[in-house]
Structure formats: C-alpha cells, structure tokens
Chain A
Amino acid sequence: MSTDVLVIGGGIAGIQASLDIADKGGKVYLVEKTPSIGGRMAQLDKTFPTNDCSICILAPKMADCYGHPNIDVLTYSEVVGVDGEAGKFKVKVLRKARYVDETKCTGCEECVAKCPQKVPNEFDQGLGERKVIYMPFAQAVPRVVTIDKENCTWFIKEKCGACKILCEREAVDFDQKDEEVVLDVGSIIVAIGYDIWDPTPASEYGYGKYPNVFTGMEYERMINASGPTGGEMKRRSDGERPHKLAFIQCVGSRNPQLGHAYCCSVCCMFSTKEAMLAREHHDDIDSTIFYKDLRAFGKGFFEYVERAKNDYGVRYINSDATVQENPENNNPIVVYDVAGRPEKEEFDMVVLATTLVPRPDAIKIAEMLGIPLTEFKFFESKDRILAPMDTVREGVYLAGYCREPMDIPEAVAEASAAAARAVETVLAKGVTG
C-alpha cells in the first residue's frame, strides 16, 4: 500500500493539486513533460478579469511547489507505464536526460550566453529564438538549463561543447542517460491541460499565408515584456506596430467540420483582455472583436466586457469573419456580414482565438490508465454530475482543462477537488489494506 500520490502535469491544476495534498502531509510526485513547471499560465501575459500579471501570481506557487518538502518535482519526465490498482499503483516514469546535472546547475545561464546555436523558441510560440542549451523562460522552475539534444552540435557532430568547457560548476554532462524510475503510489491525478490548435488548415483565416495574422497565444507572448519582442506588437511583414486590430473568435471551435464542436470557454474573455491590453500599450490602437456569441459568463466577466467597450473603446461585431489580404501593404482584410449583407474592413493585424484542444498525449495516457476519453478526446468523468473528478478506474482522478474546457479559477478549484478525492482514496485504502 502507498499513500503517495502521482500528479501528471505541472500546470496550474497540477501545481495546486500537489500543494493541497502535500500541505496535508501527503507525499506527491509531480511529473511534468517539459523542463519547467508552470504550464500554459506561465505563457500568458495578463489574466482576466483583473488584468493581474499571470507569471507574477503563478511564480510564487511554482516556487512553493518546487520547494515543498513533500513534493518531488520530476520535470522533463513522462509517465510511460501504469500497473496495479488504487492504493498500489506502480508507475514507470521516464526521466529524460537533460545533459545537465540538476543538482549542480545554478541557473546562471552563462552557458546559454555562449551557446552559438539558435532554434525557434517554443515557449514564445516560435516567434523568438532560444539557444540549444536553454532556460525555458525567465521564471522557470527548476532554475536549471536543459540541452536540446536534437539540435545540439555536440550530439550531431561532436563539436563545440562550449557549455561544458565554460561551466565552472561542471554541471554539463553529455554522457547523461535517460533513466526509468518506478514509483509506488496510491492514487493518480491527471492534469495535463490543453494544446493550441494550429489554424493553418482553416485557410479562410489566412494563418500561415498572410504574415500579419497571429494566434492569440502568439499575441500574448508578443505583448509580454519578457517575450520575444520585449512587449512590442510587431507585424510579421514589416516589424511596424499595428494601429488597428481585429480579433476573430471561435477559430476552429464550435465547428463540427473540424472536429471541435465545443466551445473553448475562455476565448471571448482572453480576446477581450488582449484588446484592452493593446490600448494599454498604445492609446491609439483600436480593436474590433468579431464573435458568434459573446460568452462572458464568469464572475465579473460581463462587467469586464462592458469596461472594454466603454473605457477601452473595444468594438464588438456579431458576425462570423474570414480574412483576405491587401497585397500592397500586407494588411489583413476581414470579411464579415451585417444583417446578411457582406462587409469588408481593412486592419493592420488580425489575432485569431484558435480553439484549445486536448493534448495528443491524452490518448496514450488514457490507454495507459485504462480510462475513456469523450468524443472530443477530453478525459471522461465517471459521472458528470456527482463525480466529475472521478474516472471509471478507482484511484485515478481528473482536474482542469484536460477534463473539460475551463478557465484558471475553475481549474484551481477542480485541482483541489481532485486532491480531496485522491486523499480520500489513499486514506480508505490505507485503512482497509
């Protein structure tokens, strides 16, 4: 029997679930696939409806989680096998070699400065570049660099090695190997979050074809002070900053043809926020949001939209919209309709609220855990009304966006809920043996 808990996914839901359990004295293994915990929330610039700086409110939780004596944070790691049952799961975790000794690296990033090789930075949605030995983002936890083996000259042709030569603490270790560890846990919480759909296939929006069409997450990184443009909005075509922005909602979502017949729950609000932030950056920027139904349903959300309209001059147009381009200046042209009459309007940047989709890993993880997914590939609750956190497999619980589209506070509440269920299970199993 084990009273330990495994949490899969180091985003805000996984962090909160881990903290809740660890604060009660339970031992937690938090397994995160990427080199840092933080998840999607770490990428966001601000959060609605308070416009709090996202990383500023998240970073203390990340630090609390990593520093917690009851939480073992396994970053750059993946769950590769699950056996057993509630109270006595055996979980195989692959700890991928980061080629840097976590215990020696102090995160000084001097190696990063010297590394000659650059690749697109996934944390910035590919807008900026990062080095091949890299800190995923400024506030990453743990504060340890990782070598991206695929692109590293040392691994490709055994040349360079600048990072190893330079590191005074001798933390770089090219001989490090992937390692498999087996964890004994009593219950498991799945909190793997969501992915961002690539809107290139939906050619009517012109993403990938017209340079000045961006996704919402690209825009978030661009307006972030620590992002690839240092917080400046820049058109891809000429680097100029925009003066007239269009936001298009439901790109790929609420769309059965694309297999996403659901609503993402957060896009109306994040586009509203993004439009407000544009005005905060430059008070001569005008924003227009094209929407199907304006879903401002959370606490203070409708009031937030009213504030966007009245105090930030955000214009809302109830229409589907597609994008064309003015070839002379690369300005996107939004085609929409008013009362059945087609209209066109030229903007200098378009931001697409692309659908948020289940992670491709969900299928693999569901199979490993022996639990079903919904028709949209979200994890299926055992009982959507009375047991939303439970799965059909006793001892396996769900939290956050991987279960159902939701915003941050709901994911946080669900994380606590899943923590409660996980603790109930390990206590019950501990008693009954």
Chain B
Amino acid sequence: MEPEEQTPETPIEQEEQAPQTPVVQQEPIAEPPVEPDEEAPETPPTPDSEELRIGVFVCHCGTNIGGFVDVPAVVEYVKTLPNVAFARDNLYTCAEDGLTAIRDAIKEHKLNRVIVASCTPRTHAPLFQGVCEEAGLNKYLFEFANIREQCSWVHMKEKEDATRKAKDLIKSSVSKAALLVPQEEMKVDVVPRSLVIGGGVAGLSAALSVARQGFDVHLVEKEGVLGGFTRNLNSLSLGDKSAEDTIKPLIEHVQAHENITVHLNSQVESVSGFIGNFDTTIVTNGSSKEVKVGTIIVATGALEYIPEGLYGYGMYDNVVTLTEFEILCKSGKLPKIKNVAFIQCVGSRGQDKSYCSRICCVISIKNALYITENFAEIMGEEGAERVEVDVSVPEISSRRRRRRRMVSAEGEAAPGPAPTGGPEITIFNRDVTTYGADHEVYYNKAREKRIRFVRYTTDNLPKVTQEGDKLVVNYYHETLKTERKLQADMVVLATPLIAPPDAADLSKKLKIPIGRDGFFLEAHMKLRPIDFATDGIFVCGTARGPADITESVAQGLGTASRAAIPMARGFIQAEAILAQVDPEICTGCGTCEANCPYGAIRLSDDGVAEVLAAACKGCGCCGATCPEKAIQMMNYTDDQLLAQGRSILQGAM
C-alpha cells in the first residue's frame, strides 16, 4: 500500500468508526459505579435491604491448616459472630465437594455474603467467586480470609496461638463482609486497530503481524522512508547481502498489506484515552488526521551516541563512529585502509552512559571481518596509500556539523608494524561481549582471521593522536605492563545506542515511563518485558534498549501478539475494584493524577478528578495520597478496612 496522500483542504479528517465497534466511553467515565450510601456504614444496604446472612467456610486444606489450627473449634467460634447465619468446615474447600457445599448453603440458608477461610486469593479467589455467581450471588459479596499462608504455615509450632489468630482473621473478615456491597463490572469495547509508532525493523515487524492477525494498523514514521536505523547500515550479517536488500521484503510486505496505512514524514501529535479507545492525532507535513485506535506499539528506535571530543573524534577525519564506518562502506566511500583500530565501549559501561550497549562488539567484529574479506577491493591496485575520509558523504557531514577543535600534533611517530599482505585490525575492548551462539560464532571467526583483540581498562584508556599523517593509538598493554603505540589508518569508535531526544516528549504524551538509561521502561523487567504498566501500550526494539536486528524483530512480533489480545477479545472487562471520586469533596489539586501509575485519573473540565474506569487498576495510590480523602477504593473503602482493622484490634485487647 502506498503512503497515504494528504488532502491539504481538509487538514483534520475524522477517521471513520470501525463498523463493529460501538464504543462505550463517556458513560463509565462520567458515571462510575456509585456506592449506594456512604453515610450509613452501621447497617450496610443490601440489594433488597434484606437482613445480613453471612456464610463462612473454614478449610482444613488437608493438614496444611487442619494440622496446626483447631478447625472445628474455629467453626464453633465463627457461629457466634454477628450476622453469621451458617458456618462449616471442609477438608478441601476447593475440591468439587467443597464447592458444592458452598453452592448448596447459599441456596439453603439464603446466604448473601460468603467467606472462605483458607489459602491465598491470588490462586483461589476466582474459583470461589465463580461458585458464588453460579449460586446467584454477586462476586463482590465474597470475602477471603487467608488462614494458611498468613497463619498455619507461619505458626506451625504454636497451635493454640494459630487457632486464636485464625479466629481473629475470620472475625475481621466477617466485619468487612457486613459492609460489602455488590459491584457491577464494566465492559468497554476495544477498537480493533493499532497505532505503531516508528517504521524501523521492530515497528515494521509489529505492524505486519498485527495486520496479519486481522486488525488495522496505522504505521507512523517520521522520516520519508521506511527502514529506520538499518538504513544507515552496510550489512546485517556476513555475506554479500546489503542491509537494504535484507529488509526490503519486510518493507514490501508492509506496504502491500491491505490492513496497513503508512504515514511517512509524520509524527504523533497527541494521544488521549485508554486501552481500547485511544484518540490519536497524526500530523503529516503540517496537516493533522485523527485516528482512533485500541492499542499502541512504541517502536521509536535509538540513535548512535556521538563521541564529541573523545579519542580524537571531531579532530581527525579518519576517526569515525561504527555507524559512520558502515555509511562509508555502504556508499563506497571507504578510503584505502590497511591498519584499522576499533575502540569499544566509547562513552558506555560506566562512562558517560552507565550501560553496556549490547551489540557494538558483534558489529565491530562484523566490520572487521568485512575489511578482511573485502580487503583487495578496499585497497585497490595502488597498495597501501592512505586516503582521508570523505566527510562530504551527506549522512556523515550532517553528523559532523559541529565546531572543530584545532590540535597540535604531539610526539613523534613510531615506526608502524612491518607491512604484510593483509589488513592489520585491532579491536581494543574491555570485555568482548559476543553473547549467545550467533554472536560468539563471529568472535571465533574473527580470531581465526587473526584480528587482534587487546583488552584495556578504564584506568588506562587508550589515547588517539596524530603523528605526521598517521593516526596513533597509545595504549597500555595489560599483560606486558608497558605503554605501546599502534599506527592506524582509521580509528573506529564503538559508541552506545542512546534514546532519541524526542523520547521524553512521547513519554509525556503516552504517559509511559523512561528508565534511568533514557530508554522506555517496561512493566516488569523479567516477565513483562514488552508491555508498559499502562494497559494497551507496548514497546519493542531499540526504543526499549539496545537490541540486535533479530531481537528487534522478535520483540516487534511479540508486541503484535500482546496488542492483538484485547483486540481479538473485542472488549475489556474492568474489575469493579476502582477508585471513586466524591466530586463534592475533591478540590482539584491534581495530586491523584500525579501519583497514578496508569494514567487512569485526571482532572476533568469541571476541575475535579475523574477516573478512567477501563484504565484503573484499583491500586489505591490516588486514594492514599488524596489530601481531602475524596477518593475511595470500591470494595476496599475506608469504612470496610477500618471495620476490619478495629475488629482485629478488639481481639488483641
């Protein structure tokens, strides 16, 4: 598909609604589920104002609880508590007979609150809530008391105290259960369309997979062409294939897919809304277009760090960065070089940047191998005559628009190594970080090709000077404990990938966090590596941190899977445990908005806080920080929690 044409007369077009999406949006936001009456905690209202009838099921969990807690005694005690209409024990409440007992008791004893005293809600609450619903009881009228992890398991040597604690825990749950009110869960439709920001390899992979999974995609690329950072590169692997040819099929598939709309020369100007219903504005050459999407994938990539003032960069033309070296190779402007020094970790690993940039070692090695394999071509017939880098190569000249410092040559040139047949390549490194199988294969191959690897430490950084018309790398030989010199026709600096400056801007627009390294910060380092904490927004490729092409592709596909989940389902079922604002008390100070990790609460036009129900996770940050106590968490209201707490304290008297 060709990039969309602009219609200058109508700068703002409304994206047509997807046919199958009657989107629920304003209603739940404006009118969050209302608690019937907050002022009457003593006798909390039930749906039909019937009397409270609490049923309590105390679990033995085999011997897990029963071996340390006197369960029958606990049951007898529970029967004496106010509002408890029924109590019994079960060997295993979670086994089918235990579940049947709950179902039957709800009907037989007309229970309108159910408490299970057993294990952890994390694994078992959904099971028991489901049983309540089957028996016609709203699932928010269920309450869990954990007498295993929080009692029997930690008091195995104190059976009497364990029994007393189990009683107290259940009593506090009974106090809370008396105040529970039914809640309705809200369903929000999801627009089956993704916005992918960034047309590099990660964004292209993500867009294509989302499209192939049956959803529309708007792919926004700020440059006039697709391909991203890869367009700078000469090759992506050893062999003849250029980087451009390698990724060409991917670009063609994206352009040809009917579900994908490509916006070149475009930026995302604004984003509002929440998972399932993001309103976005895409600006292309000054004209805007509004697009409603259900999910967003961030694939904005990274830039190469420019080593201003380091190792003679900016002073000597033949000191170039890794990417500049690739540009020279790609454009056929590589000068005749025989002795080449690569310096790794320039500006990274605890220097200007704290992190290791992951991929520079393998890229330096790949380029070193490129020189060895194409040496005849690079040197031509004239032999070892050195030529200066042609900085008129447009990509390089644009990088080098900076003040040049004048330098005076220092010292005298030492005799270089005796000329031999092949190139002399040295890679100065701190640790050769060719991790995994694929990268290590390159390292082993480089050593076979007699590429030299010289280790340096940060106590003795190499220095690059010019002596006569030769570059000289002065370094400290760690094994021989001596200063050495190495003549080089060219010095290539491996600098880290860094987050682009506009990442901060996007971070604000999407309310997505940035880590200390400047890259976007995922929801969880281990298990949610490509999700953001904010639902419906995902991150892949070098926008997340340094990654090689394979990793960027995998992450791009990964985000396509993650983004497709809510779209395939078609709706979001928001749990009813939400923040609720009392507009009469709220002063509109905005503390809640600043503290919400999910971008789920904001100041409305009326100057009071409003909750975006679909985005709210019920974490309680807003409620805890609200100076006016204007925010309550449904199902965890102050009244409910205080009742629970007081009841425990009474037991302690």
Contact with B along A295-320 (1 / 0, CB 8 A): 11111111100100000000000100
Known: A106-B62, A110-B63, A416-B562. A385 touches B553 (CB 8 A): yes
A303, B564: Cβ atoms closer than 8 Å: no
Contact with B along A412-430 (1 / 0, CB 8 A): 1111111111011001100
* Any B CB within 8 A of the CB of A262: yes
B438, A23: Cβ atoms closer than 8 Å: no
B440, A302: Cβ atoms closer than 8 Å: no
B62, A419: Cβ atoms closer than 8 Å: no
* Any A CB within 8 A of the CB of B144: no
- CB-CB contacts below 8 Å: B410-460 with A: 429, 431-441, 444, 455
B92, A106: Cβ atoms closer than 8 Å: yes
Known: A24-B564, A24-B565. A299 touches B519 (CB 8 A): yes
A374, B529: Cβ atoms closer than 8 Å: no
Residues of the A chain whose Cβ atoms lie less than 8 Å from the Cβ of B596? none
* Any A CB within 8 A of the CB of B213: yes
B558, A416: Cβ atoms closer than 8 Å: yes
Residues of the A chain whose Cβ atoms lie less than 8 Å from the Cβ of B529? 409-410, 412-413
A386, B250: Cβ atoms closer than 8 Å: yes
Known: A63-B123, A374-B437. A108 touches B444 (CB 8 A): no
**Minimum C-beta distance from B148 to chain A (A):** 13
* Any B CB within 8 A of the CB of A327: no
* Any A CB within 8 A of the CB of B545: yes
Which of the residues A20, A298, A299 comes within 8 Å of B515, measured between beta carbons?
Answer: A299
Residues of the A chain whose Cβ atoms lie less than 8 Å from the Cβ of B41? none
In the complex, residue of chain B having the shortest beta-carbon distance to the beta carbon of A141 = B123
The segment from B23-31, B354-362, B381-389, B502-510 found at the interface with A is B354-362
The segment from A29-37, A46-54, A277-285 found at the interface with B is A46-54
* Any B CB within 8 A of the CB of A404: yes
Of B123, B236, B516, B562, most A-chain CB atoms within 10 Å: B123
B246, A302: Cβ atoms closer than 8 Å: no
Q: A415 to B558, alpha carbons, bound, how many Å? A: 7
Known: A297-B358, A417-B557, A420-B558. A108 touches B439 (CB 8 A): no
A410, B551: Cβ atoms closer than 8 Å: yes
A265, B436: Cβ atoms closer than 8 Å: yes
Q: How many residues of A contact B (CB 8 A)?
A: 75
Which of the residues A58, A385, A418, A427 comes within 8 Å of B246, measured between beta carbons?
Answer: A385
In the complex, residue of chain A having the shortest beta-carbon distance to the beta carbon of B554 = A417
Q: A406 to B554, alpha carbons, bound, how many Å? A: 12
* Any A CB within 8 A of the CB of B122: yes
A60, B122: Cβ atoms closer than 8 Å: yes
* Any A CB within 8 A of the CB of B258: no
Q: A428 to B479, alpha carbons, bound, how many Å? A: 60
In the complex, residue of chain A having the shortest beta-carbon distance to the beta carbon of B564 = A24
Residues of the A chain whose Cβ atoms lie less than 8 Å from the Cβ of B568? 23-25
Residues of the B chain whose Cβ atoms lie less than 8 Å from the Cβ of A406? 436
In the complex, residue of chain B having the shortest beta-carbon distance to the beta carbon of A378 = B437
Known: A406-B436, A423-B564. A417 touches B355 (CB 8 A): no
- CB-CB contacts below 8 Å: B535-580 with A: 540, 544-546, 549-551, 553-562, 564-565, 568-569
Residues of the A chain whose Cβ atoms lie less than 8 Å from the Cβ of B126? 67
* Any A CB within 8 A of the CB of B40: no
**Minimum C-beta distance from B127 to chain A (A):** 8
**Minimum C-beta distance from A29 to chain B (A):** 18
A262, B561: Cβ atoms closer than 8 Å: no
B237, A384: Cβ atoms closer than 8 Å: yes
Known: A24-B568, A303-B354. A428 touches B212 (CB 8 A): yes
Contact with A along B359-372 (1 / 0, CB 8 A): 00000000000000
In the complex, residue of chain A having the shortest beta-carbon distance to the beta carbon of B559 = A416
* Any A CB within 8 A of the CB of B527: yes
A306, B95: Cβ atoms closer than 8 Å: no
* Any B CB within 8 A of the CB of A405: yes
Q: A298 to B356, alpha carbons, bound, how many Å? A: 7
* Any A CB within 8 A of the CB of B334: no
Residues of the A chain whose Cβ atoms lie less than 8 Å from the Cβ of B516? 303
Q: A294 to B361, alpha carbons, bound, how many Å? A: 12
**Minimum C-beta distance from B250 to chain A (A):** 6
A262, B530: Cβ atoms closer than 8 Å: no
Residues of the A chain whose Cβ atoms lie less than 8 Å from the Cβ of B479? 339-340
Residues of the A chain whose Cβ atoms lie less than 8 Å from the Cβ of B546? 297
Contact with A along B462-490 (1 / 0, CB 8 A): 00000000000000001101000000000
Residues of the B chain whose Cβ atoms lie less than 8 Å from the Cβ of A339? 478-479, 481
B561, A416: Cβ atoms closer than 8 Å: yes
* Any B CB within 8 A of the CB of A256: yes
Of B127, B527, B549, B569, most A-chain CB atoms within 10 Å: B527
A405, B435: Cβ atoms closer than 8 Å: yes
Contact with B along A364-380 (1 / 0, CB 8 A): 00000000001010100
* Any B CB within 8 A of the CB of A361: no
* Any A CB within 8 A of the CB of B266: no
* Any B CB within 8 A of the CB of A71: no
Q: A151 to B286, alpha carbons, bound, how many Å? A: 76
- CB-CB contacts below 8 Å: B60-91 with A: 61-64, 91
In the complex, residue of chain A having the shortest beta-carbon distance to the beta carbon of B126 = A67
A385, B526: Cβ atoms closer than 8 Å: no
**Minimum C-beta distance from A361 to chain B (A):** 18
Known: A24-B569, A406-B436. A385 touches B236 (CB 8 A): yes
A413, B558: Cβ atoms closer than 8 Å: yes
In the complex, residue of chain A having the shortest beta-carbon distance to the beta carbon of B570 = A25
* Any B CB within 8 A of the CB of A235: no
* Any B CB within 8 A of the CB of A408: yes
B355, A303: Cβ atoms closer than 8 Å: yes
Contact with A along B299-342 (1 / 0, CB 8 A): 00000000000000000000000000000000000000000000
Residues of the A chain whose Cβ atoms lie less than 8 Å from the Cβ of B439? 263
Residues of the B chain whose Cβ atoms lie less than 8 Å from the Cβ of A374? 437
* Any A CB within 8 A of the CB of B517: yes
Of A294, A408, A420, most B-chain CB atoms within 10 Å: A420
* Any B CB within 8 A of the CB of A261: yes
Q: A59 to B119, alpha carbons, bound, how many Å? A: 14
**Minimum C-beta distance from A179 to chain B (A):** 23
Residues of the A chain whose Cβ atoms lie less than 8 Å from the Cβ of B565? 20, 23-24
Known: A25-B569, A302-B355, A302-B356. A427 touches B433 (CB 8 A): no
Known: A261-B441, A423-B564. A384 touches B436 (CB 8 A): no
* Any B CB within 8 A of the CB of A164: no
* Any A CB within 8 A of the CB of B247: yes
Residues of the A chain whose Cβ atoms lie less than 8 Å from the Cβ of B249? 386
Known A23-B569, A298-B545, A408-B526; further 20 A-B contacts with Cβ < 8 A: A23-B565, A24-B565, A63-B123, A106-B95, A263-B434, A265-B436, A296-B433, A299-B519, A300-B355, A300-B517, A302-B349, A339-B479, A410-B529, A410-B554, A416-B561, A416-B562, A420-B564, A424-B212, A427-B212, A428-B212
User: Chain A residues in contact with chain B, CB under 8 A?
Assistant: 12, 16, 20, 23-25, 47, 49-50, 52, 57-61, 63, 67, 106-110, 168-169, 254, 256, 261-263, 265, 291, 293-303, 306, 318, 339-340, 374, 376, 378, 384-389, 404-406, 408-410, 412-421, 423-424, 427-428
13 CB-based A-B contacts, threshold 8 Å: A23-B569, A24-B564, A262-B441, A263-B440, A265-B436, A293-B429, A299-B544, A339-B479, A385-B237, A418-B557, A420-B561, A427-B214, A428-B212
